[in-house]
Structure 1
Amino acid sequence: MTDAAAAVEPGRQILTCEELTEEQVEAVLGLLDEAARADGTSAVSEQGRLQLRGGPRPGIKHFLLTEGGRLAGYAQLEDTDPVEAPAAELVVHPALRGRGHGRALGSALLAETGKRIRVWAHGGKSAARHLAQVLGLTLFRELRQLRRPLGPEAPELPSPALPAGVTIRTFVPGADDAAWLTANAAAFAHHPEQGSLTQRDLDDRMAQPWFDPKGFFLAERDGALVGFHWTKIHDAEQLGEVYVVGVLPGAQGGGLGKALTAVGLRHLAAAGLPTAMLYVDADNPAALAVYEGLGFSTHEVDLMYRTES
């Protein structure tokens, strides 16, 4: 743990560390919860939350901004992509905004990365867009959250039409880990955030209260994994999520993705959930067409900004 920055103004300090104490973790989670209640969306992704615990992780740094000894802001930097610039997420306590804390955190991130960075603005709030402009960042990615009703009054879900020779079963923890990680890497070779998941990342998710292998569907042909649909249930919000759908390159183009999506949606509907959600990049028209054809529409957007250098 190192003190990366002296007080940037009286009463404000930024501490940079590669590992958080349990007390720091709880303080950050409390800050994230307060911000989510005020903003209606989480400022830090699921992956970012998982990376708070479990000791140091390669490429991960935490920035704790305090004012008068109180945690006023938090940022997380992930420098694991061999090609893309480091990615960051940041948040300021709702009661302590308008004091320059966001700019201070952003400046610390820019200094840490040599002004080569990507920053998420979850929910696309106007304040986040303004901060991006102040920091000299430009918009380059839009991630849409789509939603679809699942209740009795919702449009009927299609029956899964599986390609010839394909069967569906559910994931078996331990037995299917390695095969799924290999399949996930192949299906998302173009998408480093998803395609680079490791056994540790999978273990982190399987340890969460929401994990249920009965909602994790594997598609096989001749005993080989060719696709998957991992669903997730958000109990508090009563939301079912199309968490990740992947089809291996050799099995694409035959309707397997749509069939797997239908399998998962039927599972979520059978669980009594009134709404399903998913995330998709705005520049993926093929996926958008599939999901809109299944009754999804845009609910909100997450924006990513980056430096030009």
Structure 2
Amino acid sequence: MSTVAPAERPLVQSAERLDPTGIAEVLALAATADRTDGAGPLSEQVLLRIRHGADTPAAHLTIRDDTGRLAGYAYVDASAVTDGAAAELVVHPMHRRQGLGRALVLAVVDAAGPAGPLRVWAHGDHPSAAALALRLGFRRDRVLLSQRRSLVEPIPEPRLAAGVTLRAFRPGVDDEAWLAVNNRSFAQHPEQGRWTLPDLRARIAEPWFDPAGFLLATDGPAGRILGFHWTKVHDGGGDGRPAEPIGEVYVLGVDPGAHGTGLGKALTLAGLRHLRDRGLTDAMLYVDESNTSAVALYERLGFARWTVDVNYRRG
């Protein structure tokens, strides 16, 4: 363990790994901030890496109060060579407005290195985060919208092209074929288009995973995957999840060769009907604000803006 903060700043400690006690502390801190803010401070990807470890270079930055309790935390991923390092952070609600957020961001800059781009997520688009980003020379670079829709409202029957059928994902059988389609579908996406088999299998191992809600659209005798709608059910637990059970359009993708066939709309409707049939009354999703075609599709299908996450960039 090493110290990455100078004496004039609150003391920030850095570690390559967290022990089980540290993992529990960070997860509890994230859950506390989520209950206070109404938005989880750490993404699912970061939470998975905290719980299960990361196979890429990372730094865990922590600040503790006078009693030794965890007051702030930041995760720094330095694995993205092209886009630079990425980070997410959280400060305990009882320790805000004390300079801890600024100290963590400065420690993130130290950990990421002075050269090259650095991206930091602010979940919830708080004015204080925007002001801090401006003071430290970050610019608003990317906006992720959270949208919601009632499942009580009518959901039209999906219309599939001739020869296209829907079936459930088969773990251990469809993994590599699905991953290839996913990465082609999201080739320009900085996170989703870079998934590996360990990324997929880590989610398959999660308690929420249900292959029945992972719908594949296939075509031809070989069952070629044309697109997919992976749904998720948040059970109202901790770790940044919503307080009430809610369905999610977790990942929706269409192979570039099947664009323009209406498959995206059909898959969306099929997934929403699946979530409704599970007894859920609401659905959520995340979509990049810059993906105007996807935003327009979801709005036509009854989704409306709920919250906003912002990615700030330096360099």
Shift of 1:249: 0.8
- Equivalent in the alignment of 2:240: none
Match of 2:174 among 155, 173, 176: 176
Report the CA distance shift for 1:275/1:56 in structure 2 as closer, same or farther (over 3 A): closer
Cross-structure match for 1:66? 64
Moved over 6 A (4+): none
Give the C-alpha shift of residue 220 in structure 1.
0.7
- Judge conservation of contact 1:218–1:227 (CA < 8 Å) in 2: yes
Tell me the equivalent position of 1:49: 47
| Paired AA for residue 143 in structure 1 | L
**Number of residues of Structure 1 aligned to a counterpart in Structure 2:** 303
Aligned match of 1:300: 307
Q: Kindly report the root-mean-square deviation, in angstroms, between the aligned alpha carbons of the 2 structures.
A: 1.4
Amino acid at match of 2:288: D
Deviation at 1:60, TM superposition (A): 2.2
Superimposed CA distance per residue, residues 192-246 of structure 1 (whole angstroms, 9 cap, x where no aligned partner): 3001111211122112111111100011111111111000001112211000101
Alpha-carbon shift at residue 132 of structure 1 (Å): 1.2
- Asked if the contact 2:231/2:251 (under 8 Å) is kept, the reply is yes
| Residue 54 (structure 1) shift | 2.5
Aligned partners of 1:160 and 1:128: how far apart in 2? 41
Aligned match of 2:258: 251
Correspondence for 1:113: 112
Change (3 A) 1:302 1:161: same
Residue segments in structure 1 that go unaligned for 5+ positions in a row: none
1:128 aligns with 2:95: no
Separation in 2, partners of 1:29, 1:66: 15
After the TM superposition, which of the residue ranges 210-219 and 63-72 deviates more from structure 2? Answer: 63-72
Name the counterpart of 2:230.
Answer: 230
CA shift, 1:85, in A, is: 2.1
SS in 2 for 1:84: coil
Q: Following the alignment from structure 1 to structure 2, what is the Cα–Cα distance between the partners of residues 56 and 179?
A: 24
For residues 156-171 of structure 1, what are the structure 2 equivalents within 5 Å? Answer: 156-171=154-169
Distance (whole Å) between structure 2 residues aligned to residue 54 and residue 303 of structure 1: 26
The whole-number CA distance in structure 2 between the counterparts of 1:106 and 1:6 is: 11
Contact 2:168–2:213 at 8 Å: present in 1 too?
yes
Deviations along 1:261-302, whole A, 9 cap, x unmatched? 010000011111111111111111111111111011111111
Is this contact kept in 2: 1:31–1:93, CA < 8 A? yes
Q: Give the C-alpha shift of residue 101 in structure 1.
A: 0.6
Matched, 1:186 2:187: no
Shift in Å, 1:25: 0.1
Q: Does 1:272 align with 2:279?
A: yes
TM-score, with length taken from structure 2: 0.92
Aligned residues of 1:86 and 1:117 also touching (Cα < 8 A): yes
Q: Which residue of 2 aligns with 1:77?
A: 76
The Cα shift of 1:127 comes to 1.7
Partner secondary structure for residue 48 of structure 1: helix
Q: Distance in 2 between matches of 1:200 and 1:71?
A: 30
Q: 1:8 to 1:231 in 2, by over 3 A?
A: farther
Name the % identity.
Answer: 49
For 1:153-176, what per-residue CA distance to the aligned partner results, in whole angstroms no more than 9, with x for missing partners?
x2x112111122211100111111
Supply the AA of the counterpart residue of 2:17: E
- Name the structure 2 match of 1:36: 34
Instruction: State the 1:5 CA deviation.
Output: 1.9
CA contact (8 A) 1:142 1:281 kept: yes
Q: Judging changes above 3 Å, is the alpha-carbon distance between structure 1 residues 60 and 164 closer, same or farther for their aligned structure 2 residues?
A: farther
TM-score under structure 1 normalisation?
A: 0.94
Cα offset, 1:251, TM superposition: 0.7
Per-residue deviation at 1:7?
5.8
For 1:118-144, what per-residue CA distance to the aligned partner results, in whole angstroms no more than 9, with x for missing partners?
111111111211221222211011111
C-alpha distance in structure 2 between counterparts of 1:33 and 1:251, whole Å: 40
CA contact (8 A) 1:18 1:56 kept: no
SS of the residue aligned with 2:52?
Answer: coil
SS in 2 for 1:43: coil
Q: What is the letter of the counterpart of residue 266 of structure 2?
A: A
- Partner amino acid, structure 1, of 2:56: P
Tell me, yes or no, if the aligned pair for 1:59 and 1:79 is still in contact at 8 Å.
yes
